[in-house]
Structure 1
Amino acid sequence: MQTIQPAVPARPLPFYRHLYFQVLVAIVLGGAIGHFAPDTGQALKPLGDAFIKLVKMVIAPVIFLTVVTGIAGMRDLEKVGRVALKALGYFLVFSTLALVVGLIVANVVQPGAGMNIDPATLKTDKVAEYAAKAHDQTTVGFLMHIIPNTVVGAFAEGEILQVLLISILFGLSLTLIGEAGEPVVDMLERIAQAFFKFVHIVMKAAPIGAFGAFAFTIGKYGIASIANLAMLVGTFYLTSILFVIVVLGAVGWANGFSIFGLIRYLKAELLLVLGTSSSEAALPSLIEKLEKAGCPKSVVGLVVPLGYSFNLDGTNIYMTLAALFIAQATGVHLSWEQQALLLGVAMLSSKGAAGVTGAGFITLAATLSVVPSVPVAGMALILGVDRFMSECRALTNFIGNAVAAIVVSRWERGLDADALKAALSPGKAPPPPSDGPLPDPARP
């Protein structure tokens, strides 16, 4: 009689082999080198740039494959439109709320009060570059830019919204042709497996990228540069933290999950965003982790790429807070009517410069150029610490988009509550690497 041996449980990975630990160590080492050897820290910049280029290289195909297979799997064109409308409605509400929060905090704390800066004494050479870019970001220009010149060009330039447009149209086309498109969908799903394996290989270089990027930031700008504007930086970080815990935490509670559990689940990606100061660096991993946490691929594929352009909670908090800081620092009093105008302009300009490198600073320039009461030259005051605030912007934007994807999944009744609870439970080990995302629960 053959004895059946009990299955031996897989041994958990040692802590030092987890990505989040490696990235954390890399950030600490990078910060130390940047502080004690600034020239060496600045020389390490190519490490961070190279890693971000590696990730951006794979973003376009990952979005295309995820969105196309997700839409083709829905077999319901009405559902595609419904998901997109729900996502955009969510983005509008919470992006506006983030702008209002920044406005309220700036009025209560008044981080720029008493500085009495004369705008004429400020050096505005660098500000002029951002102002020129902001001038080009009109609403009509933004909408026209969504349409690529060629299909290949969208992928070559890595334009997220252009790739998303092509992906949606191609996914709808496969749905409309029915059975004839099924072999194409199957082939794309197999290609997606290869690309997600590609992502896992690239992510092994994340600690090196975070090390180089953080060493450069501290080496070039120095921790001491924060001291002069500590009130603004501190206020922005505290406001963003409260927005995540209170506002997004309440949204999570109302939808059956803990914001702290979500942060814990995404800790490796959040540390990577912190180290590289770019939320795009963790976009492919976010898509995969949300699918493993029970969100349908069809929903994640639409909501996350859209959110990276339209759901910028951290950027919106920064815009109104920084605008009022500049007004206070230069002695400009803004009435409530003028602040309401500032809020309205910020709502539009934050969409008009979506997806542009340095979007936070560019959208601020675009907003101030339309509200003449606040001198654009005052942006020179915050140019030196903008890099430190960009990290907080990226982190808040990243968490906001993760929450949005889970909420819209629940609204669509496609969320696997058991998978989400298991993923977000304390002490739950991160899901093991796979050859691709899990099957879409919404797909028959």
Structure 2
Amino acid sequence: MAESPALRHPVEPLERETIHRIAWRLIPLLMLGYFCAYLDRVNVGFAGLTMNRDLGFSATVFGFGAGIFFIGYFLAELPSNLILNRVGARVWIARILFTWGILSGLTAFVWDAWSFYIVRFLVGVAEAGFYPGVVLYLTWWFPSSYRTRMMALFQSASVISLIIGPIISAELLKLDGVSGLHGWQWLFLAEAVPPLVMCVVTLLLLTDRPRHATWLRPDQRDWLDGRLQAERAQRESIHRYELGEALRNPRVWWLTLVYFGQNVSNYGLLIFLPQIVKSFGVSTTMTGVLSALPFVFAAVAMLYWGWHSDRTGERTYHVAGACLLCAAGLAACVFIGFERPALMMVALILAAMGQQSIAPTFWSMPTALLSGTAAAGGIALINSVGNLGGFVGPYAFGLVRDATASDTIALLCLAAAPVVSAIVLVSLGHDRRLERIPSQAAIAE
């Protein structure tokens, strides 16, 4: 994947200063919000180590309850992103953080399968719009040539959460019996606090649009506005999509299928990873440490993959390659088996490295295709329907595990989904909107 000569151009000091200032101002805030989102989204996997026993849940019941989050997410995603596009990111993201924090904490008080299903569904409704809202928000602030690496930085918060979260969750499970609560109840209550704090921080510090950024100099705002308008004109010179047309566009739906496939493997693995690691015969504390290990490597892979994709300007094979690496790691588990836990961990590390490298580069593709309200709707459509894979993955894993009594066969089933994603993506071919504006001179023209 050699770098095209057309993509090599000197970065002007004004461009460098502007992007640097925006990145340091906005990306840490967005990362903290996503850290909270992922902590609340997958802590149920760790809670399942003891909650399943206390409430009498089978793997199928647990997988269905963990995955039904994404049904609520699917139903509320599109309207949530359209509202964000209208009212602004600051207020709407703060609202999302507040409501999902409250509802996530209520998971501590479920008592049977149906109460578990209902609360998880409502948490999905509450959180809907955060991730696609940030994807849309980044298009308001960063030119396309920076977007993949900024997405990788933002997405790295999920990996950091997956590194820190299991260790914290393992310690919280040890609070079993304190004040008459189970350890898994303390887990849900404690991990509901960060999004409530971030609600206040977001209201105070997030800026909606570049024109509201008093922390940028006038020449920096002018440069950014000119660059983003030039890129929008480039997209719309090929075809300008209205909202309804974007939602009916076959390419958007094929991209949705790609995202669906990667989410099947992603959440199927994430939700059941603590139970897979526990099967190695280790303690709860060591389960937390080993569950975090794959994501230490994944964090490095994700950042490098995003940087390399931006450097070369290539998207399709970066995403497809990450999908195939994930599938290879998952499939290898069935041939290794639990008798060799060290090799199993190597395979899971490879799967996590591939899996976590998919999304940052993937999102540069629909955002290069769409703009304006069509971008808000199209991004929400891809994310909401694609995230139904987050329901299918855990539920399918639980069904296969109950039917076969084998985690490795369940992992092999998950491996099929990213293979399909890679095939679909390569079959779609290249779209000219993925090309970057090559130079500052092109904007002036």
TM-score by length of 1: 0.30
Ranked by relative contact order (alpha carbons within 8 Å, sequence separation 6 or more), the top structure is 1
Computing the radius of gyration from Cα coordinates, the structure with the larger value is 1
TM-score by length of 2: 0.30
Counting helix residues as a fraction of each chain, which structure ranks higher? 2
